[in-house]
Chain A
Amino acid sequence: MRSKGAAIPYVVWMALFVVAPLVLVVIYACTSRDGTPTADHFSVMLQYAAVFGRSFWLAFIATLVCILLGYPMAYILARERGRLRNMATMLIMLPMWMNFLLRTYSWVFLLERNGFFNTLLSSIGLPKLDIISTSGAVVLGMVYNFLPFMVLPIFSVIEKIDGRVIEAAQDLGASSAQVFRRVIFPLSLPGVLSGVTMVFIPSVSTFVISRLLGGGKKLLLGDLIEMQFLGSAYNPHLGSAISLVMMVIVLVSIGLMNRFGEGEGEAVLL
C-alpha cells in the first residue's frame, strides 16, 4: 500500500503531461479547423511521403554512423581503467553541458562558405568544401549532437560484462576475434539497442538541425510539423496528424527492433 501512495505524484504527472497531450494530439488530428471530425489530414499526408522518406533515411544513416563510430569508442573506453577513462567520459559529456541550439549554430559558422573550415582549407591552398545546406551537413549535425547517446549506453553495458565470462571463453580456446563475436558483442547488444533508440528518435524528429545546417531546403518531418504550429503554414490539425503517424511508425520500428533483439534485453523506450 505504501508504495502505491508514493506513486501518486508520478501518475498525476504522467496523466497531465503525457496522456492528456497525447489525447489532444489525437483529437486535433481527427478534426478539421471548425471542429468537425475528418480523416482528410491523413489522406493529404500522402503528398509528404518524400519528407517521411527523407527523414527516416537521414536518421537511419546518422544512427548507422553513430554505431560505427560509437561502438569502438565505447569498447575501448570500457576496457581502459583509471584516469584516462574518466577523462574520456568527461570529454564525451562535456559538449552536452552546452545548449543544443548553440552547438548547432557553431557548426553553421564552421561549415559556412567562408566559415572556419573553408578559411583554413583555402589558407593552405586546398579547394573549398561546399557542405552547408546539404543532406551531408544535416547528418553531420545529427551525428555530432547524438553520438554521446550511442556511446554511453554501450559503454555502461560493456563495462559490466563479467570478466570471468571472457576468461572462460579464452580458456575454452576461443581466439580474441571469436571472443568478441561470440561473447562480448552479443552481451553488449542491449546497449546498442538503447543507443539506437536514443539516436534514431531525436534524429527522425529534429527540426533545428535541418533548418540551420540544411538551410531549410531539406525539409524533415520535424520541420513539417513545426511549420504547422509555429511556422509559416498554420494548421495545427495537420501538424497533429503528422505527429501521430510519425509516433506510430517509430513505435512499430522500436517494436520490431525489440523483437529482433529478444532475449538480449529491451531497447529503452524514450
Chain B
Amino acid sequence: MKKFLALLLTLILGTGLLSGCVSSRPTEESDASEGDASASGGVVNVYNWGEYIDESVLTDFEEATGIHVNYQMYDSNETMYGKIAGGGADYDVVIPSDYMISRMIAEDMLEPLNFDNIPNFADIDPALLNPAYDPENLYSVPYMWGLLGVIYNTTLVDEADTGSWDLMWNEKYADDIVIFDNSRDTIGIALKRLGYSYNTTDEAQIKEAVDLLIQQKPLIQAYVMDDIFGKMEGGNAAIGTYYYGDFLTMLENNPDLAFYIPEEGTNIYVDAMCILKGAKNKENAEAFINYMCSTEAGLKNCEAIWYSTPLLSVREELDPEVSGDVYAYPDESIMAQCESYAGLPQATLDLYDSEWTRLKSAS
C-alpha cells in the first residue's frame, strides 16, 4: 500500500513537472510532430516567440488556406536553438533573431526559401533586404524589427539618473533592476557600456563585460524574459531593459513607464521567418510566411504587439501617430547610435556559454 501510494504520488509529481514547459493554443493539439490533420490542406508547424502575434491571424490563415497551424512558443533564441539542435523538435517555420539566423545558416540548419511562393515579399522595406545575417537573402523574410532600450518607472526613478546604460548599475536602485535572461543581450549591454562592439570576438573584452555584470548582480532583482511584463506593469521593479514594441504594450497597462535609448548606443534587431532544414511541410510553410507578409495580417500583428513592421503597405495604413514615432521608425540620428548583432564564430559562442554560466553561478 505504501509503495503504491508512493508510486501514485510520483506519477502526479512527474506529470506536474513535465507539463507547463510548452504553451500552446488551448484549442490546439500541441504535438508539433503530428503529420496529419483533419483539414484538407495539411499542417504547418510554427515555432515563434511568446506574445509575438495576434492569434486571430492564425485562424484567418487556417480559414483562407485550409492549412492547420500547430503553434508553439519559446522565450529566447537560445531556448529555440537548444530545442532544435537537440533534434527532438519537428517544426517548419521558426522566427529567430538576426544573430541566431546567421548561426543557424552557418550550421546548415535552414532551408533556402522559394520566393516564387512568397509574392508578398515584394512589400518588405528595401532597407531590410540582404542584411548582414543573411547577405544574399536566401533564408529569411523579416517579420518584425525594433530597438532595444531602457524602460523605467517615472514614479520610482529620478529623471536625472537616466540617459545611459549606467542606470542599470546605479546602486540607488538596488534590487529594483531587472535584466535579460539570455547571454547575448545581457553581455551585449555590458559591452556597450564599456564602449565595445556587440560583435567583438576579443576574449578580454567579453570577460571584462561579464566581470561588470557580476559586479552588477547584487543590484539585480531578477533575470527575466517575458516575465518583465508583470515586473514593470505592476511596479514590482523600477528599471528594466526590453524591446520598444513591448514597452508600448506595457505602457497601456502602466502609464508611469518611460523609455529611452542609452547614449552609448543600443541594439537594432530583426526577427525573421525561416524554414528549418528538412521541413516536412515546406510549401505550407511558404504559404504561411506569405500570409504573414500580407497587409491584413501584418496590420493585425502590428497593432497587437506594437513592434515595427517591415511591410511598407502596413506602415501606410498605420495611425500617423504610430508610424511617426521616432523610436518605432527611427530617423538617421537614432539609427547612427544603433548596432545590430552579427553571427559570432564558434569559439566566441563557446566563450559566451561558459561566461554566461560563470555569471549565473556567481553568488
Query: Which residues does A use to contact B, with CB under 8 Å?
Result: 47-48, 50-51, 54, 96, 99-102, 108-109, 112-115, 130, 132-133, 148-149, 152-153, 156-157, 160, 190-191, 194, 198, 202, 208, 212, 215-217, 219, 223-224, 227-236, 268, 270
Asked whether, in the complex, the Cβ of A215 is within 8 Å of the Cβ of B20, the reply is no
Asked whether, in the complex, the Cβ of A153 is within 8 Å of the Cβ of B2, the reply is yes
Q: Please judge, given known A-B contacts A157-B2, A194-B2, A233-B183, whether A133 and B20 are in contact too, CB under 8 Å.
A: no
Per-residue interface assignment for chain B, residues 1 to 42, with 1 indicating a CB less than 8 Å from any chain A CB and 0 otherwise: 111011001101100110110000000000000000000000
Is B230 positioned at the interface, with any CB of A under 8 Å from its CB? yes
Contacts across chains A and B counted by CB atoms under 8 Å: 132
By Cβ-Cβ distance, the 7 closest A-B pairs, closest first, are A215-B222, A100-B16, A101-B20, A216-B223, A233-B353, A232-B78, A268-B6
List chain B residues, Cβ under 8 A from A217: 217, 220, 222-223
Asked whether, in the complex, the Cβ of B357 is within 8 Å of the Cβ of A224, the reply is yes
Knowing that A156-B1, A156-B5 touch, tell me 13 more A-B residue pairs with CB under 8 angstroms. Answer: A47-B361, A96-B16, A101-B20, A133-B222, A157-B2, A194-B6, A215-B224, A231-B79, A232-B76, A233-B352, A233-B357, A234-B81, A268-B2
Interface-lining segment among B57-65, B234-242, B284-292: B234-242
Write the nearest CB–CB distance from B62 to chain A, whole angstroms: 28
CB contacts under 8 Å to A, within B329-363, are 352-354, 356-358, 360-361, 363
List chain A residues, Cβ under 8 A from B83: 230
Per-residue interface assignment for chain B, residues 59 to 99, with 1 indicating a CB less than 8 Å from any chain A CB and 0 otherwise: 00000000000000000101101110110000000000000
List chain B residues, Cβ under 8 A from A223: 360
**Minimal Cβ-Cβ distance residue in A for B2:** A156
Is B117 positioned at the interface, with any CB of A under 8 Å from its CB? no
Asked whether, in the complex, the Cβ of A215 is within 8 Å of the Cβ of B223, the reply is yes
Asked whether, in the complex, the Cβ of B236 is within 8 Å of the Cβ of A102, the reply is no
**Minimal Cβ-Cβ distance residue in B for A224:** B361
**Minimal Cβ-Cβ distance residue in B for A269:** B6
Asked whether, in the complex, the Cβ of A234 is within 8 Å of the Cβ of B1, the reply is no
List chain A residues, Cβ under 8 A from B227: 212
Asked whether, in the complex, the Cβ of A112 is within 8 Å of the Cβ of B79, the reply is no
Is B140 positioned at the interface, with any CB of A under 8 Å from its CB? no
Interface centre among A224, A230, A233 (most CB of B within 10 A): A233
Is B249 positioned at the interface, with any CB of A under 8 Å from its CB? no
Asked whether, in the complex, the Cβ of A234 is within 8 Å of the Cβ of B82, the reply is yes
Write the nearest CB–CB distance from B358 to chain A, whole angstroms: 8
A50 to B223 Cα, complex, angstroms: 19
Asked whether, in the complex, the Cβ of A50 is within 8 Å of the Cβ of B363, the reply is yes
Asked whether, in the complex, the Cβ of A149 is within 8 Å of the Cβ of B9, the reply is yes
Write the nearest CB–CB distance from B349 to chain A, whole angstroms: 8
Asked whether, in the complex, the Cβ of A202 is within 8 Å of the Cβ of B79, the reply is no
**Minimal Cβ-Cβ distance residue in A for B237:** A113
A80 to B85 Cα, complex, angstroms: 55
A101 to B360 Cα, complex, angstroms: 22
Asked whether, in the complex, the Cβ of A114 is within 8 Å of the Cβ of B234, the reply is yes
Interface centre among B223, B235, B354, B357 (most CB of A within 10 A): B357
A194 to B4 Cα, complex, angstroms: 12
Is B181 positioned at the interface, with any CB of A under 8 Å from its CB? yes
List chain B residues, Cβ under 8 A from A191: 2
List chain B residues, Cβ under 8 A from A130: 175
List chain B residues, Cβ under 8 A from A208: 17, 20
Asked whether, in the complex, the Cβ of B353 is within 8 Å of the Cβ of A190, the reply is no
Is B301 positioned at the interface, with any CB of A under 8 Å from its CB? no
List chain A residues, Cβ under 8 A from B183: 232-233
Write the nearest CB–CB distance from A161 to chain B, whole angstroms: 13
Q: Please judge, given known A-B contacts A100-B16, A101-B20, A232-B183, whether A133 and B175 are in contact too, CB under 8 Å.
A: yes
List chain A residues, Cβ under 8 A from B181: 216, 232
Q: Contacting A234 at CB < 8 Å: which of B6, B85, B230, B231?
A: B85
A148 to B357 Cα, complex, angstroms: 33
A219 to B359 Cα, complex, angstroms: 10
A202 to B16 Cα, complex, angstroms: 12
Asked whether, in the complex, the Cβ of A198 is within 8 Å of the Cβ of B9, the reply is yes
Asked whether, in the complex, the Cβ of B9 is within 8 Å of the Cβ of A230, the reply is no
Is B182 positioned at the interface, with any CB of A under 8 Å from its CB? yes
9 intermolecular pairs with C-beta atoms under 8 Å apart? A47-B358, A109-B230, A112-B230, A112-B231, A114-B234, A132-B236, A215-B223, A230-B83, A234-B353
Q: Contacting A112 at CB < 8 Å: which of B12, B20, B234?
A: B234
A115 to B221 Cα, complex, angstroms: 15
Asked whether, in the complex, the Cβ of B222 is within 8 Å of the Cβ of A216, the reply is yes
